[in-house]
Amino acid sequence: MNRNKLHISQKKNGHSEDIGNAHIGTAYGTPIRDDAFELSEEEKMEKIEQHFKEIMNILGLDLKDDSLSGTPHRVAKMYVKEIFRGLNPENKPRVALFENKYGYRQMLVEKNITVHSTCEHHFLPIYGVAHVAYISSGKVIGLSKINRLVEYFSKRPQVQERLTIQIADELKRVLETEDIAVYIDAEHMCVKSRGIEDNQSSTVTTAYSGKFLNENVRAEFLQSIQSTR
């Protein structure tokens, strides 16, 4: 796990339960083909538009209706330019580090970062928040860059476990420190709107490394994200 400590739980009616072996996950790298970027974004949109039009036809929808006629194009643009834009490495945020001139050596916590992602099992939304912390090794990062990194890895088909690890690993690489904590609490529409249709549950995943493996440091982090503003 690249020295990350990953924990997965699901909250039901305010209580946390271990998901256990039944939870489906894959490798930490997004499963993407080597030829993923041979087509331009415009070519991808054109093909997706045609395929989605066929899906709508199979469902029996009337594409001559004014409300539906533009839907295939809108869906294609949404997939390529918006909700899956994180698949393209060209969209990865450029991150600059700054010297920690003020000598701040305690943890920095950026909490309640919006997470909008898509479940790769059913292509339904995942909504939630991420809380991120790090302890500087001599460098600091602009706060908005943390948000942008969370957004970048969220904008692709995901499982929450992978998303958590990808954010943690990238922050370790960028900040040149092992002292990273990531905590994501999210609701999955594939649980709420289909299947079990459970409107009360959410899923929590965490990744701890470096000093955050220490129980006291981890407790300080957890206390800080639970406190009110």
The torsion region of residue 14 among left (phi > 0), alpha (psi -120 to 50) and beta comes to left
pLDDT band at 228 (very low <50, low <70, confident <90, very high): low
Helix (H, G, I), strand (E, B) or coil at 162: helix
Which tens digits make up the pLDDT trace of 158-186? Answer: 999 999 999 999 999 999 999 999 999 99
Q: What is the pLDDT of residue 13?
A: 46
Percent of the chain with pLDDT over 70: 87
From 120, 151, 178, 187, active-site residue? 120
pTM score, whole prediction:
0.85
The domains of the chain, with CATH numbers, are: 5-28+95-226 (3.30.1130.10), 41-87 (1.10.286.10)
From 49, 119, 170, 187, active-site residue? 119
- Which token pair is 162? 């992978």
Is 190 marked active-site? Answer: yes
Is 23 marked active-site? Answer: no
- Which token pair is 28? 């930490």
Is 120 marked active-site? Answer: yes
> Radius of gyration over alpha carbons of the chain, in Å?
20
- Which token pair is 112? 């309640």
Percent of the chain with pLDDT over 90: 73
Which tens digits make up the pLDDT trace of 189-205? Answer: 999 998 888 888 899 99
From 41, 46, 73, 190, active-site residue? 190
The closest alpha carbon to 150, from 209, 105, 86, 195, belongs to 86
pLDDT band at 6 (very low <50, low <70, confident <90, very high): low
From 46, 116, 122, 220, active-site residue? 122
Residues in the chain: 229
Question: Over 50: is that where the pLDDT of 1 sits?
Answer: no
From 160, 166, 178, 187, active-site residue? 160
More confident residue, 50 or 11: 50
Is 43 marked active-site? Answer: no
Is 200 marked active-site? Answer: no
Is 121 marked active-site? Answer: yes
Is 15 marked active-site? Answer: no
Q: What is the pLDDT of residue 15?
A: 44
From 49, 151, 170, 188, active-site residue? 188
Which tens digits make up the pLDDT trace of 25-34? Answer: 445 789 999 9
